[in-house]
Chains A and B, each alone.
Chain A
Amino acid sequence: MRILRLISVFSCAMVLSALPVLAADIKIGFPGPITGNLGFLGEHMKWGAQLAADEINTSGGLLGGKKIKIIMGDSKCAPAESVSVVERLISQEKVDVLLGDICSGATLADMPIAKREGRPMLVTISSHPAISEKSGVGGNPWVFRTSPTDAIIGALGGKGVLDQGFKSVAFIAEDTDYGRAGVESMRQVLKGKVNITSTDFTAADQTDFLSVLTRLRSQKPEAIAIYLLDRQLFNFMKQYQQFKLKMPLVGRPPLGSGLVTDLVNSGDFNGSWTVFQYLDSYDSKENTAFVASYKKAYGQRPHFAGFAMYEGIQIIAEAIKSAGSTDPEKVREALKNIKYDSILGKIAFDDHHQAHNSILKMTIIDGKLKVTGVVGQ
């Protein structure tokens, strides 16, 4: 009876999953964390992508009225799962174009599939330098990236520390490829010039910073360089507040995240700054419009993950338009030569298929996070 039960469930599921999909759609798919620790980032990824697709579809679609369909699979940010998702997106969902995952490890595992199957893949968030090292000339011709690399961001962060004349810095980073690569690039810039009082790599789901903060309170570095993601930063800042510490948070803390807005506004973090590729309060006509539609559709201001995917879809749409078809080779060529007007600058790809969009430096002044510098690459 158990077997019968299982068989009937099987059959139902098979039938459901084989439901016909409109052949006229243009399908763009990507892996991302839906469940797991970074689920809320995956949510923003989906929202950003969907918003772009909706905007394009309501204004007439592409290639004579075809609509864009966004398909996201749950990778949990794990490479093995991400690979499964991408395989499925190509074989079962028959997507025309791919986007990269958030976590660099997952994206790196996905890249060979894009090459093997011949589909363009646009990486919009992953920041590991290896991704562009392996793309373009002498490498994977199908992968393109708009997000800046950890090497660049780390160097900018390090430069910011040097510019402010700090003599001692403590590092706190998440123990992932992202955190370690980021710290490494900052360390390269600061070596020999600044005293690094301590380096802590915390588990990605760690929420308790009590003892680390105790040590910081005792050692008193002049600044704390941070390579954490939103959730950990929230917990860190909250506990930092209770410790009544005064040194600024520098480097790349995601101060623009909606999770820490209240903490930023409290005024306890004035002087902290970060280097990021997007801030929702960036003052420009296009951005204000974008933020307004995002908020209207999803009830939250855009996270940079949402912005990155939004622009990613727009860029792909541009490439499809200019290629005049969804043929992978033509879209790839179109991407190679694209010149896209991003909200932050111009996007074009170098010979390693890496874009060099502007990066924002933002500082907390009087309880408000403000853009204090725009660095072109």
Chain B
Amino acid sequence: MFDPLFIAQLLLNGLVVGAAYGLAAIGLTLIFGVLEEVNFAHGELYMLASYSLFAAVSFLGLPYGMAVLLVLPIMALVGFGLSQAAILPNMERPFEVTVLSTLAVAMILQSIVRLTAGSTPVNVDTVFETMTFEIAGILFFGQRVLILIVALLSIIAFAVFLRYSRIGLEMRAVAQNRLACQMVGIDLKRIANWSVVCGVVLTGIAGVTMAPLFDLSPDMGVAIVFKSFAVVIIGGMGSAFGAVVAGILLGVVEAFTTGYGSVAVSEGLFFIIMILVLLIRPHGLFGRTVRI
């Protein structure tokens, strides 16, 4: 079973699946890095974006690209709402309060989607799904490659934004030393709003690109949340690059253990690796200040 084709395919699988894990975690790590708040609504936000995409495609009849353009501003609004309801009021309180508040938002979102869309799973089809290329015996799946591209673009956009925009600068500053920022007059509320909105939009990007891969159901966010936490911890709080690297690392390990062993082994690996990384490098692979 050391067929080079098999190995190459597993490697590619790991890469694309891992990029997806990383992409899904970027939004979480941003909020984590700048505000030091754990957003337990992360999974449900991802789910909301996916369902919004479904609604745009199925009920409004929009093509994939246009549907995405419609969903992202909606996610920005939702992000603003989340910031107002669960993050801003709790910034000066112990972070467990935010954990519970975001958990409450998660429950609310899941219930609303279940009540409006029903429990029957739905799915979104895009043109990328039908594209499967075979190059030198290795299969490339259209949608998955798209995810990889989007993940890479997201890191770049993230880096550019942080580096060259005023808000980005302020976000980095707040991540480093919140107290000092307040002393020099940075409006914490504004930064918090921006961070949460950006984080939620990024999560939304993950949702719309990944939604077509599998079916959608109101409880799909739950699985995302735990894996995203693992990715964020391993990659390092606040580092989008770290998130994608960590995601790919986990994806590749998962692919090989499943490919050679069975699914059983790979499931526990996420957590084992995270625990090991935390023991050796408590701040994750790429540290904790907000940068690329």
Q: Taking the complex as a whole, does A directly touch B, i.e. does some CB pair lie under 8 Å apart?
A: yes
5 residue pairs of the A-B complex, CB under 8 angstroms, read A34-B119, A39-B114, A200-B263, A218-B3, A242-B132
B residues less than 8 Å from A202 (CB atoms):
263
The CA-CA distance from A234 to B13 in the complex, in Å, is: 20
In the complex the two chains form, is B1's CB within 8 Å of A218's CB?
Answer: yes
Asked whether A39 and B264 contact (CB < 8 A) given A211-B13, A212-B258, A214-B13, the answer is: no
The CA-CA distance from A243 to B254 in the complex, in Å, is: 19
Asked whether A259 and B215 contact (CB < 8 A) given A43-B120, A231-B121, A242-B141, the answer is: yes
Give the distance to chain A from B121, nearest Cβ to Cβ, in Å.
Answer: 5
Which B residues from 1 to 41 make CB contacts under 8 A with A? 1, 3, 5-6, 9-10, 13, 17
A-B contact count (CB 8 A): 97
In the complex the two chains form, is B121's CB within 8 Å of A40's CB?
Answer: yes
A residues less than 8 Å from B187 (CB atoms):
none
B residues less than 8 Å from A375 (CB atoms):
none
In the complex the two chains form, is B215's CB within 8 Å of A234's CB?
Answer: yes
Give the distance to chain A from B228, nearest Cβ to Cβ, in Å.
Answer: 15
Main secondary structure of the interface of A (DSSP, over half): helix
In the complex the two chains form, is A234's CB within 8 Å of B123's CB?
Answer: yes
How would residues 162 to 186 of chain A score, 1 for a CB under 8 Å from any chain B CB and 0 otherwise?
A: 0000000000000100000000000
In the complex the two chains form, is B132's CB within 8 Å of A244's CB?
Answer: yes
In the complex the two chains form, is A39's CB within 8 Å of B217's CB?
Answer: yes
Main secondary structure of the interface of B (DSSP, over half): helix
Judge whether B218 is part of the interface by a CB distance below 8 angstroms: yes
Asked whether A201 and B13 contact (CB < 8 A) given A37-B219, A40-B121, A234-B121, the answer is: no
Asked whether A205 and B223 contact (CB < 8 A) given A210-B17, A215-B259, the answer is: yes
How would residues 224 to 250 of chain A score, 1 for a CB under 8 Å from any chain B CB and 0 otherwise?
A: 000000110011001000111000000
In the complex the two chains form, is B217's CB within 8 Å of A40's CB?
Answer: yes
B residues less than 8 Å from A242 (CB atoms):
129, 132, 139, 141
How would residues 10 to 41 of chain A score, 1 for a CB under 8 Å from any chain B CB and 0 otherwise?
A: 00000000000000000000000011110110
In the complex the two chains form, is B139's CB within 8 Å of A231's CB?
Answer: no
The CA-CA distance from A211 to B10 in the complex, in Å, is: 7
In the complex the two chains form, is B219's CB within 8 Å of A36's CB?
Answer: yes
Give the distance to chain A from B9, nearest Cβ to Cβ, in Å.
Answer: 5
Judge whether A206 is part of the interface by a CB distance below 8 angstroms: yes
Judge whether B96 is part of the interface by a CB distance below 8 angstroms: no
Cβ contact of A35, chosen from B9, B114, B215, B259, cutoff 8 A: B114
